[in-house]
Amino acid sequence: MPSSHEIHDLIVVGGGVNGAGIALDAAGRGLKVLLCEMNDLASATSSSSSKLVHGGLRYLEFYEFRLVREALAERESLLKNAPHIMWPMRFRLPHQPHLRPAWMIRIGLFLYDHLAKRETLPGSRSIRFSPGSPMVNSINRGFEYSDGWVDDARLVVLTAKAAEQHGASIRTRTRCVKAVRQKEFWAVTLEDQSSRKQTVHLCRTLVNAGGPWVSRLLTETIQVESPKQIRMVKGSHLVVPRIHGEAESYILQNEDGRIVFVIPYEENFSLVGTTDVDYQGDPSQVSISPEETDYLISVVNSHFRRKISAEDVVWTFSGVRPLMDDESESAQKASRDYTFEMDIQPGKAPLLSVFGGKITTYRKLAEAATDSLCKFFPKAGPAWTRHNALPGGDFTSHNELQERYRARYAWLPNSIIRRFVRTYGTLTEVILEGCHSLEDLGNWFGDTLYACEIRYLVTHEWAQTVEDVIWRRTKLGLHLQHTDTRPLQDYMDELRSLNVSQVTQIKAEQA
């Protein structure tokens, strides 16, 4: 017998961007959804990207025109739906004639400008680098084009939050240990990672959005043969003190045909990446290698006047991209496209598995996947997410919102207002409810982190550990690396115990 008497229409396994996207789309169409994630939301691939909403300029070299067109269209939609965590960014591409001729780059940029409708972003142009530019003397020409920036981990959290607002149940630190077909239902066994308590839940459709674990979930947990194989490709990034003072990002061509981004990051830093290395092993144990560090540093130093070394690195992160195994000769050429496979058997509950994908097309993937699932739910509503703002994204301009909050919270330091606007948007008002002075923010845990923000993250955004807060919900870890975070974890544990007590009390009163 199931531990829960509820029957869900969907159980989604995997709390990355694709799983959260499907949970949101399905819940918004009126389906009863449960999402489980064995760790924290966005704890693997979805928080280890290059932080870009982009069409993928280099994918044109591999003739992936449909993927680029779709990604460019999605780029416009996402920038409108989440202006707090996404914003336009100009990219400069220094020209090195021996790598790619100028005519080839112009054609590529022309296609990039026109494959999909541009509503807000300016087009590409040729540029000259002045003697005072950050480029080395040998680079004096280049090109400039538009793409977008995204806080990837917050995108996942806010998508999950929106799903919850539409009725979905979000279970973090909850592992799917077994899933068994029982005619028209799946019996799914979930294990709480803290208590090790197991519960069984019934659903009419199971969604495998396990990312790097998608094939393992199929063969080990669901015990069916995987219809596709994935190619695990490691992408590593490093963060260093700001390399240049310009607002633009750079896309650097290297002798081996790969490209490296140098992106302004968290005001005082530069984000450098990424690598493409085939990976074998546990995706949760992935880390940058000395060879990758040397590679990224070498590419940067061949382009910029200011040189960096391994001693300048303040943070690194690596992720495993679960790409479809198209038997490409190199990891760089492996497709970033996505697909999903439906396992449909007469008289039995269906299974949908997601393979591949990228941050920029997550909403489109979720919409297409949910469209397929809705064939089994004729009362489900139509597609709806294209023009739907994510929580906190109901505004148009960072500057306008900052000015509004400077007037409303005149006592609040500008550094906090700026960070709150680009992290929470209008959810800032939830965090600051009842606060009328700096003292009302509560205990200070370093930099711009106060108790009121921690309370919000624990209560509303599933944060349980210091890492959840300072690396995924915020990037304050860059400023708190030499700070004792034990008081922060103690405070979070206290908040969580209080929340558990409150839930227990409410259930007792309802009984």
Banded pLDDT at 506 (limits 50, 70, 90): very low
| pLDDT of res. 92 | 97
| Residue in the block written with tokens 């996942």 | 156
Q: Mean pLDDT over residues 321-340, rounded?
A: 65
Banded pLDDT at 157 (limits 50, 70, 90): very high
The vertex-36 CA angle with 30 and 42, nearest 5°, equals: 105
Banded pLDDT at 200 (limits 50, 70, 90): very high
Report residue 363: phi and psi, to 5°.
-65, -40
Instruction: Compute the distance between CA of residue 400 and CA of residue 423 in angstroms, rounded to an integer.
Output: 15
| pLDDT of res. 357 | 83
- Residue 505, pLDDT > 50, answer no
- List, in order, residues 6 or more apart from 481 with CB less than 8 Å away: 314, 315
The domains of the chain are located at 7-45+154-229+345-387, 56-150, 231-324, 398-510
| pLDDT of res. 4 | 64
**Beta bridge partner(s), residue 192:** 174
Structure confidence by residue, pLDDT tens digits, 352-386? 999 988 899 999 999 999 999 999 999 999 999 99
DSSP-derived pairing of the beta strands 351-356 and 198-208: parallel
Banded pLDDT at 61 (limits 50, 70, 90): confident
| Residue in the block written with tokens 């707090």 | 84
Assign 244 to helix, strand or coil.
coil
| Residue in the block written with tokens 């799946």 | 186
- On whether the CB atoms of residues 496 and 462 are closer than 8 A, the answer is no
- On whether the CB atoms of residues 48 and 319 are closer than 8 A, the answer is yes
| pLDDT of res. 363 | 97
| Residue in the block written with tokens 């633009």 | 248
Instruction: Compute the distance between CA of residue 28 and CA of residue 384 in angstroms, rounded to an integer.
Output: 8
- Residue 472, pLDDT > 90, answer yes
| pLDDT of res. 201 | 97
Which tokens in the block code for residue 366? 């979720």
- List, in order, residues 6 or more apart from 3 with CB less than 8 Å away: 198, 199, 200, 201
Residues in the chain: 511
| pLDDT of res. 426 | 98
Instruction: Compute the distance between CA of residue 376 and CA of residue 373 in angstroms, rounded to an integer.
Output: 6
- Residue 337, pLDDT > 80, answer no
Intrachain domains 231-324 and 398-510 with the same fold: no
* Highest mean pLDDT: which range of 59-63, 113-117, 261-265: 261-265
Banded pLDDT at 96 (limits 50, 70, 90): confident
Q: Mean pLDDT over residues 63-74, rounded?
A: 90
* Highest mean pLDDT: which range of 217-231, 272-286, 408-422: 408-422
Q: Mean pLDDT over residues 142-151, rounded?
A: 96
Question: What angle do helix axes 362-373 and 17-28 make, rounded to 10 degrees?
Answer: 50
Instruction: Compute the distance between CA of residue 4 and CA of residue 197 in angstroms, rounded to an integer.
Output: 13
- Residue 327, pLDDT > 70, answer no
What's the CA dihedral at 323, 329, 74, 391 to 10 degrees?
30
More confident position, 503 or 181:
181
Banded pLDDT at 479 (limits 50, 70, 90): very high
Structure confidence by residue, pLDDT tens digits, 34-51? 999 999 999 999 999 999
Instruction: Compute the distance between CA of residue 353 and CA of residue 342 in angstroms, rounded to an integer.
Output: 7
Instruction: Compute the distance between CA of residue 369 and CA of residue 276 in angstroms, rounded to an integer.
Output: 28
Question: b or e along 261-273 (b: 16 or more beta carbons within 10 Å of the residue's beta carbon)?
Answer: bbbbbbeebbbbb
- Residue 349, pLDDT > 70, answer yes
Q: What percent of the chain has pLDDT over 90?
A: 81
Banded pLDDT at 256 (limits 50, 70, 90): confident
| pLDDT of res. 325 | 67
DSSP letters, 39-67, are: SSTT-SGGGSS--EE---GGGGGGT-HHH
- Residue 145, pLDDT > 90, answer yes
Smallest Cα–Cα separation from 383: which of 86, 8, 24?
Answer: 24
What count of Cα atoms within 13 Å lies in the side-chain half-sphere of residue 375?
11
Instruction: Compute the distance between CA of residue 216 and CA of residue 450 in angstroms, rounded to an integer.
Output: 40
Q: Mean pLDDT over residues 112-141, rounded?
A: 92
SS3 readout for 188-201:
EEEEECCCCCEEEE
Q: Architecture of domain 231-324 in CATH?
A: 2-Layer Sandwich (3.30)
What's the CA dihedral at 365, 371, 374, 379 to 10 degrees?
130
Going from the C-alpha of 507 to that of each of 36, 110, 171, 504, the distances in angstroms are 22, 60, 18, 5
The answer to which of 88-92, 305-309, 342-346, 457-461 has the lowest mean pLDDT is: 342-346
Q: What percent of the chain has pLDDT over 70?
A: 95
| pLDDT of res. 287 | 96
Tell which CATH classification among 3.20.20.80, 3.30.9.10, 3.40.718.10, 1.20.120.10 matches the domain 56-150: 3.30.9.10
First to last CA, the chain: 22
Query: How large is the C-alpha radius of gyration of the chain?
Result: 23
Tell which CATH classification among 2.40.30.10, 2.40.180.10, 1.10.8.870, 3.40.50.410 matches the domain 398-510: 1.10.8.870
| pLDDT of res. 324 | 73
| pLDDT of res. 508 | 46
- Residue 64, pLDDT > 90, answer no
Q: Mean pLDDT over residues 98-106, rounded?
A: 87
7-45+154-229+345-387 fold: FAD/NAD(P)-binding domain (3.50.50)
- Residue 511, pLDDT > 50, answer no
Q: Across all residues in the chain, what is the average pLDDT?
A: 92
More confident position, 89 or 101:
89
Residue 396's CB: how many other CB atoms inside 10 A?
Answer: 10
